[in-house]
Every structure is written in structure tokens, then in C-alpha cells.
Structure 1
Amino acid sequence: MAASRQPNIIFILSDDQGYWAAGPYGNQEVRTPSLDRIAAGGMTCDRMFCVSPVCSPARASLLTGTIPSAHGIHDWIRRGNSVLEEDRPRPIEYLAGLKSYTSVLSDAGYRCGLVGKWHLGNAHLPQQGFQYWRVHPHGAGPYYDSRLIDEQGSVQNHEGYLSDVITNEALRFLEARPRGDLQPYYLAVHYTAPHSPWGREHHPSELFDRYYEECPFESTPQIQISDQQISSTPVGFTPEERRSILSGYYAAVEQMDVGIGRILDYIRDRGEEGETLILFSSDNGMSMGHHGLYGKGNASFPANMFETAVRVPFLCSWPGFIRAGERTAQLMSHYDVAPTILALAGLENPQNPAMPGINISSALIEGPASTPGNQRHDDYALNRQYLIVFSEYGPVHMVRGQQYKYVHRYPYGPHELYDLDSDPDETCNLVDLGEYQQVRCELRELLGSWFMRYYRSERDGRSLPVTGRGQTGLVGTDPNSVFCDDWFYVTREPDRHRGFEA
């Protein structure tokens, strides 16, 4: 079904929300009626995967449609976000010279706004086609009394809970648009929730206390902390610590959901549901006790590519175009978001040869896609026998297919191979078993060949010392390493850690 006009687009992105932490994915403990509402009125994608299991590289890939070894952001941006950082460094243009789908939308006449988390370098300057700019100066932080930077570069102090502030600023963007305005808009609502901190003082006490006192938290496993856990945030060593962490995490999800409901109500009350494409996802997944880990891909060393770290929620609604109440188990990647949004907006994909994604709108809308850009750039995964997500986190690469997942760590390993049909929880590594060597070799060859099509040699992550503790500069331009290594293993003995020795 072809739209008579370009849709308005609202893309809501959460932060560190595992697919399992939402009602549409079967979690009956965390309250997400607004996410349930999007799912009921649209499509739930059961197997969407992020590009990298940590925020900044995942977000850069979402925007540009390219892999980390093409755009050069391999870890969370620790320095260069704003002059408000502790050592007040010069803001860094991490995306300089790169084209994003939001730039294409802006060039085509869309009014583009971003509210909330940016975390891709210089937050003092609107970037990538955004005209309305209300962004967090850092990657995360306290939930109360936060600051946002506007398009003039001014820092504004905001009282109240951060998710509510982000919702208010998003509604301000929407309310400024006159009724009957035919100029389409794109609004990115990037919540920092449910990223840490998770302490009671950081979240609405009535929500935290209700979860702490009443929730059994059967939706997350209670197992021994992994010996590979590294962290600078609390982990659930004791039942009380676990309950407190999960209470904060679930409270953050619920209050974010309240804000999403306010946005949905506004669109409904304006009578614009049929004109508005709503998308919801998370930048990356999250383990909250899964595999004995608390965190995402950098919760462990070596970095992990477990399903809980790389699989993310993805919901979409557009009444009259996207089927209501449907689910799809098609393998999808965040690489596909840029070409799909452009296609649904009726715009040509730039056809950048460094963009591996495909237009998946035919899996979402009623009938075959009638929009341009439907051809995949590479022929390895035309029928998605293998999903070339292919999550990349520095020297850790992954290819995930319908049945098997292979994780390769350059240069020496350890490597992993899982049969997801028989072992969906990834507990049995098959990589060294003789009967699986052909599968391993095929996936290893596929992974390497695919990577070589899209990487830039000067930004190749395979040899970079990415440890999960942050990136402080541009890859290939700084004579010193731009990756921090001040991390430690967490042990089960209180106040003791095992440091890393190179």
C-alpha cells in the first residue's frame, strides 16, 4: 500500500534495554502498557539485533548504516562529548564526513529533532540534519536534575526525572507544529533509561519500592556471578543487591513507558496516527543476571555476544500500512533501519557501498514493498539464511544465522559456536567439537568475507585494544591509543578485584 504523502516519523530509542525487559516479549513483571499498545497496533519483531553490544558504536551504526570498522566508533565515547566532562576536553566530531539517514531526511524537507541521548561526540552543535536539538551532555548520569544542550549550544538545567524531561521536550517539538502543516517531521526520542544508575535515589520511589517489595523477578535468572564479569557499577552478589538493582532497572523502564504513552496520546488526540510511523527499539541489549553477567557486551572480558547483549526489542506502528497485532520472526539487523526508514519515506537510499543493510519494509507493511531501495548490496544473506548483523565490538565479531551463532575473537580467541535450536541459552560451546568443524569453517569464512566488503583499513577494529572502558579520540588520527584499559574483574569477595595485566 503506497502512502499519499510522506509519513511523520517518531523513533523512540531506549538505552540498555534487553528484548526480554518488555511486555510484548513476554515479561509479565515489568509494566510497559505503552509498549504493549504499540505492539497491539503494529508489528513486533522478535529477532532484531543491534550492530554492536555497546551504546556509541551501536548508535553510530544506526544513524549511518555502516559498521564500526567503517565509521570508526568502536567503544562508548568517554571523551569529546561536551565541555562539561571532568577534564573539559575539546568536543570531538566523531561523525565528521559521514552521511546519516537523518541528513537525507533533512535534505528532502523533513524537520528533524533529537531529544535525549546523543553520545556520539560534540553535543554542543546540532549534527546530521537535526534542527531541534535537546541532548544530554554525556552518555548517562543521574536521573534527577540533569542538563540538556540546545541547538544554540546553551546548557539548560532541568529539574525533575530525566525521562520526564525528555518526554516534555519531545512534546514541545510536536506542539510547535501548526495543525495542517504539511512539512513532514522526524523526531528521535532517545531516553537514557534504563541505563544505570539503578539506586533507589535515582528513580521514583513509589515505583522502586513496589518492585522491591512485590516483584519476584522470575523474569531474570538468579545464578552465580561469572568470573568474566567486569564492572564499575553494582552487580547482584547477594539477593538484596540483586533485588535492588532490578528494582531500579524495572522502575526506569516503567517510567520511560509512561512518557511514551504521553507521546502516543498526543498523536492520537491530534488525529495523526495514520500519518505517523512509530518505531521503538534499544541501542543494544542487556544482561541482568543472564549468564551470570550484569551489563551489556562490555560486562565481561573478553567482550560477549550473548543473545541478551545483541538482541533488542523492535516495535513499529503505522495504522493502515503496518499490520496490527502481528509478529515476525524474520532475522533483522539495525543495519536495516536506515534503508527501511528512507524507503518508507519514499526516498532513495544513498546506495553507499559501505552500507550492508536492506529495506525490510516488505516484512512490515501490508503487501510487497512498493518503495525504492529493496535490493541488498551483498548476496550472502539475500534470503537471510545467515544474518549478517554481524555484531562487531573491536576485535570480537559475530555472525548469527537461523540455527548457528559463531563468535570470533581476533587474534587468538577464545571463539564460540552455538546451536541455537538445541541450546537457545548458549550454554554449550561447540567450537572445538569435531563434528561441528565444517559449520565453524563455513561461518568463519562467511564472517571474514562479509567484513572485508564493508570495512575501512584505517578503522579496522580487529587489531584495536577495545576493552569496554571507553574511546577518547578518533581512530587512526591519534598517535597514542584512544581506548582506555582501566577496568577490573569483579570477584565474589567484597572489596576485592582482579586487575588486568597486559
Structure 2
Amino acid sequence: MHGAEQRHPNIVVIMSDDQGPWALGCAGNTEIQTPHLDALAAEGTRLSRFFCASPVCSPARASLLTGQIPSRHGVHDYLDGAHVGPESVDYLAGQPTFTAALADAGYRLGLSGKWHLGASDVPRDGFVHWFALEGGGSPYGHARMHRDGIPEDIEGYLTDVFADDAIDFVDAEARRTEPFFLALNFTAPHKPFAGQHPREYTDLYRDCAFDSCPQGDPHPWQPTVDGVPIGGEADAREALIGYFAAVTAMDAAIGRVLKRLDDLGIGDDTLVVFASDNGFNCGHHGIWGKGNGTFPQNMYDESVMVPFIARQRGQITEGAVVDDLLSGYDCAATILELAGIDPAPFEAGPGASFAPALCGEKLLERPVVVHDEYGPVRMIRTRTRKYVHRYPFGPHEFYDLEADPGETTNRVDQPEHASEIHELRRQMHAWFSEHADEAIDGAELPVAGAGQVTAVYPDPLGAFTPLNWDGTGAAARQETAE
């Protein structure tokens, strides 16, 4: 819809996979080429301190949809096991999502790309178009997709396949009177990196110095097998070329989608949001990966901070940068408010709409603090301090972000910081006590970044079935009655 007839804006939410805000030109990286995302930021508002709820894919995505933290929605790690078929499960079954709220308000929903929240072959309620990747990752040259429940093996560059499908959905919906919502979920720039991307993009970086990705000494918490580090890259330079090329190729695909909105005459009536599920370290701190690039899992800003750009012409402030500390659990309420739908049901937990900040207003009476979790690892971060707590015994971390913005020196044992560490720890415990569900609280689970294969369902009385774990860090399969 467009013009005076439109009651709600169309919505396009574009999600990248494993991208920190450092990998954006508009965020200050002079080496990476992201002209279309830079232009989107110039037309809209960019958040410079937006955080995922957990530094790994599936829980972060679940938090974006539900407005809840992993210790309430029950997804604590990336999802492993069956992704389709009778053994696969919907990990968010019975839980409210902002997409369901959009459908209830009359939106027609479409998905093009990654899902990775279980049962990828089953279109969720309200989705009239469902083109979902079977699992959590894939080579870029071919993939198994599920189109409206039917498996489909596709060939071609995956980033362009997703964008083409998204454009087809937009073309069809532009002819209808109802507003539409599109989730365009890329796998870029997720690994594999080297040898995956068109030469027109890899050639851009053959002579790049990659000063934006300093290759530190291997992190002491890097996992090893028989003494050999895992999770790193055998050829860091080729991996960097692939990572940067993946971002630039995705940027070009996004540019095609945005152009189609304008060509159809609906660009001005469409809210466009770009974000990533979690951050990523390309050698920063001696890590290739995100939270589970180390064990214990890390909470460095490169892992937990993600890009966020929003544009709606005439509504969202043009060319603004907002530095409030905001999180993925705030996203559901924000999108609903921008859509003209009551956000209150998604503000009963930790989330709160930051739509006013996107429209030029100050966020009032809001603590400048954000929380993250990854199983038994929890973080509280203010503008100038970060405290990381690991249940049950540590190691804990404390960073003075004024003196040490690169998080190079852990000051947790320095006596002069004892009182403020105590206060941050108290605030963190109180916050998670308020917002976690005791039955599935991640602090009690030995999550090791090795994947989760157990679903958590609400039972008929509204309680949650607790997770079972096999003691190795991967969840043990549990039969649960619906």
C-alpha cells in the first residue's frame, strides 16, 4: 500500500549473520565497501551501541522475535539436531512473537532466507510466503531450501537467491491492499569464507591491508582438540577477503531490494530495518568467531555489539546516530510501535520500545545499561564499565571502558574497583532474577557452545519443561508431550 490510503507501513527487516558494526563503512570502517547500507543510514538513523541478547545465532534471533531473554524463551545455544521433518520442533511454540502480532493486525508475512529456530520446513502462522534455509548455515553455491513446506535444492550464489526471492515477494505484495512484512535473512557474512564469493567482490580486497582487523595472538581460551586450536582460520588473509566480500555482495543485494521498493512507488511507505543476529571477531582479541569462539564463552564488544539501521522517510530522523545502549530484546516492541501497533505486550519483560529515539526524541527515565547472556555466562554493560560473571565459579571479568575501550586488561581483581564490581554484580543478579524463568534459567545449564537439541515447551498449566543436558555442553534429546 502507499499514499494516504495506508494504515500501517510496509516493513522490511533485513538480517545479516555474524556481522559486527565494525564491518560497516558508515560506522567508520574505511576498508570495507557498503555503499547501499551507508546510504540507508544517511536516510535514516543508525544505532552505534546496539547489542544482541546472546552472542550466538539462535538465541539472539529468538530474542528479536519475542522480546525476551534466552532464560525465558528457552533457546540458549545455536540449534543442532533435526531442522526439518517429524523429529524437528518449533523452539518458539506457544510463545508470542512480534510477527504474530503483525499478522493479527492484518499484515501479510514473508520470509526469505535463514530461520534456524527449528522446524524450518513449517511456515509459521501468518506467513503467506516461506522460503527458508534448512539449517543454520550453508555453502554459498548451493543450498537446501523449503518453499512453503516443500524442499527445494537451489543453485546459484545464495545471497542473490535470497534477494531475488525477496524481490518476487515484494512485487506480488505491492499489488495488494494489505500491508506486508518481509524478513530477509541473509547467511552473509557467516562462514565458509574463502572461495565462496564472486570475483567481482573478492578482487576488491586482494590488496586490502585489513587494518580494521588486527590479528592478535591466539586467545588463551581458544578451544583445542589434542592441543590443536579449533575455530580459527588456517589462512586469515583469505578468510578476511571472503568475509569482506560477503558483506559487500550482501550490500549490493540489499541495494537491489531497496531500489525495487522505490521503483514500485512504495519506498516512502516502507519501514526498513537492517541489523545482525550477533557480532563477530575476525582476529580481534585473537579470536575468529563470536561468543563461542572461546571457552569459557566471551562477551567482548565485537561479539555482542551489532549494527542497527532504521529508515522510514518522513518518520525516522534522517542522518542521525543514537548512542543509547539498546538491545535485541527491545526490537519487537520498537517495530510494533513504528508500525502503529500497541507495543505494550512486548514491554512486559525486559524489552521497551526505542521508537522515540529513532524519531528524534530522547529516551527518558531509562537506565543506561544492557545485559547479555550465553548459558551460565552473563554480562552487564554501562557506557563506561563492563562486568562479566560466569556461574558457578568464574572466571569473572571487569573492564574500565573509559581507560581501556579495547577491553585488553581485566581489572576484576584490582581492589580499587571492588565496590563498583559489587554494585554491578548486584544489579545483574537482580535483573536476571526479574526477567528469567527459574525452570530454564541459563545459569543452571552447562552450555559450552556445542549446540542445543532440546526444545522447551509451555505445558498446559503455563510452566516450562526444563532442559536436559548430557554434561558435555550439548543438550540431550528429550521427548516432550505437546
Find the aligned partners of 1:174 and 1:228 in 2 and give their Cα distance.
45
Q: 1:204 corresponds to which residue? A: 198
Q: 2:386 corresponds to which residue? A: 405
Closer, same or farther in 2 for the Cα pair 1:291/1:313, shift >3 Å? Answer: same
Q: 1:175 corresponds to which residue? A: 171
Q: 1:497 corresponds to which residue? A: none
Q: Alpha-carbon deviation of 1:129?
A: 3.1
* 1:157 maps to 2:138: no
Q: 2:436 corresponds to which residue? A: 455
Q: Secondary structure at the match of 1:62?
A: helix
Structure 2 residue identity aligned to 1:98: Q
Is this contact kept in 1: 2:346–2:352, CA < 8 A?
Answer: no
Q: Secondary structure at the match of 1:97?
A: coil
Closer, same or farther in 2 for the Cα pair 1:36/1:466, shift >3 Å? Answer: same
Q: 1:124 corresponds to which residue? A: 121
Closer, same or farther in 2 for the Cα pair 1:461/1:478, shift >3 Å? Answer: closer
Q: 1:216 corresponds to which residue? A: 209
TM-score (norm: length of structure 2): 0.91
Q: Secondary structure at the match of 1:46?
A: strand
Alignment of 1:218-367 (within 5 A): 218-230=211-223, 235-236=232-233, 241-351=235-345, 355-366=349-360
* 1:394 maps to 2:375: yes
Is this contact kept in 2: 1:14–1:192, CA < 8 A?
Answer: yes
Q: Deviations over 1:111-146 (max 9, x none)?
A: 111110100001111125322110000000111121
Is this contact kept in 2: 1:170–1:189, CA < 8 A?
Answer: yes
* Match 2:65 to one of 63, 88, 92: 63
Find the aligned partners of 1:175 and 1:3 in 2 and give their Cα distance.
19
Q: 1:470 corresponds to which residue? A: 451
Is this contact kept in 2: 1:354–1:454, CA < 8 A?
Answer: no
Find the aligned partners of 2:426 and 2:450 in 1 and give their Cα distance.
30
Q: 1:35 corresponds to which residue? A: 37
Worse-matched range after superposition: 225-234 or 463-472: 225-234
TM-score (norm: length of structure 1): 0.88
* 1:190 maps to 2:185: yes
Structure 1 alignment gaps of length 5 or more: 84-88, 369-373, 376-381, 487-502
Closer, same or farther in 2 for the Cα pair 1:128/1:149, shift >3 Å? Answer: same
Find the aligned partners of 2:330 and 2:372 in 1 and give their Cα distance.
13
Q: Deviations over 1:214-239 (max 9, x none)?
A: 111111112211121237976246xx
Closer, same or farther in 2 for the Cα pair 1:3/1:402, shift >3 Å? Answer: farther
Find the aligned partners of 2:174 and 2:158 in 1 and give their Cα distance.
27
Closer, same or farther in 2 for the Cα pair 1:252/1:353, shift >3 Å? Answer: closer
Structure 2 residue identity aligned to 1:69: S
Find the aligned partners of 1:53 and 1:403 in 2 and give their Cα distance.
20
Q: Alpha-carbon deviation of 1:482?
A: 6.1
* 1:143 maps to 2:140: yes
Find the aligned partners of 1:184 and 1:101 in 2 and give their Cα distance.
15
Q: Alpha-carbon deviation of 1:46?
A: 0.5
Find the aligned partners of 1:66 and 1:3 in 2 and give their Cα distance.
34
Closer, same or farther in 2 for the Cα pair 1:41/1:249, shift >3 Å? Answer: same
Find the aligned partners of 1:408 and 1:128 in 2 and give their Cα distance.
38
Structure 2 alignment gaps of length 5 or more: 457-463, 475-482
Find the aligned partners of 2:193 and 2:231 in 1 and give their Cα distance.
9
Q: 1:97 corresponds to which residue? A: 94
Closer, same or farther in 2 for the Cα pair 1:103/1:450, shift >3 Å? Answer: same
Closer, same or farther in 2 for the Cα pair 1:350/1:323, shift >3 Å? Answer: closer
Is this contact kept in 2: 1:66–1:354, CA < 8 A?
Answer: no
Is this contact kept in 2: 1:235–1:245, CA < 8 A?
Answer: no
Q: Secondary structure at the match of 1:20?
A: helix
Closer, same or farther in 2 for the Cα pair 1:230/1:330, shift >3 Å? Answer: same
Find the aligned partners of 2:241 and 2:259 in 1 and give their Cα distance.
27
Closer, same or farther in 2 for the Cα pair 1:482/1:174, shift >3 Å? Answer: farther
Closer, same or farther in 2 for the Cα pair 1:148/1:364, shift >3 Å? Answer: same
Q: Deviations over 1:237-259 (max 9, x none)?
A: 6xxx1101101111111111111
Is this contact kept in 1: 2:231–2:293, CA < 8 A?
Answer: no
Find the aligned partners of 2:467 and 2:103 in 1 and give their Cα distance.
36
Find the aligned partners of 1:44 and 1:308 in 2 and give their Cα distance.
17
* 1:48 maps to 2:31: no
Find the aligned partners of 1:53 and 1:367 in 2 and give their Cα distance.
29
Q: Secondary structure at the match of 1:214?
A: coil
Q: Secondary structure at the match of 1:208?
A: helix
Structure 2 residue identity aligned to 1:316: A
Find the aligned partners of 1:111 and 1:352 in 2 and give their Cα distance.
20
Q: Alpha-carbon deviation of 1:107?
A: 0.7
Q: Alpha-carbon deviation of 1:204?
A: 1.3
Closer, same or farther in 2 for the Cα pair 1:313/1:160, shift >3 Å? Answer: same
Structure 2 residue identity aligned to 1:456: D
Is this contact kept in 1: 2:222–2:230, CA < 8 A?
Answer: no
Find the aligned partners of 2:104 and 2:442 in 1 and give their Cα distance.
32
Is this contact kept in 2: 1:67–1:455, CA < 8 A?
Answer: yes
Find the aligned partners of 1:257 and 1:130 in 2 and give their Cα distance.
25
Q: Alpha-carbon deviation of 1:354?
A: 5.3
Find the aligned partners of 1:188 and 1:57 in 2 and give their Cα distance.
17
Is this contact kept in 1: 2:455–2:467, CA < 8 A?
Answer: no
Q: Secondary structure at the match of 2:127?
A: coil
Q: Deviations over 1:354-408 (max 9, x none)?
A: 521111111111457xxxxx99xxxxxx4333x23x1110000001111111111
Find the aligned partners of 2:471 and 2:27 in 1 and give their Cα distance.
35
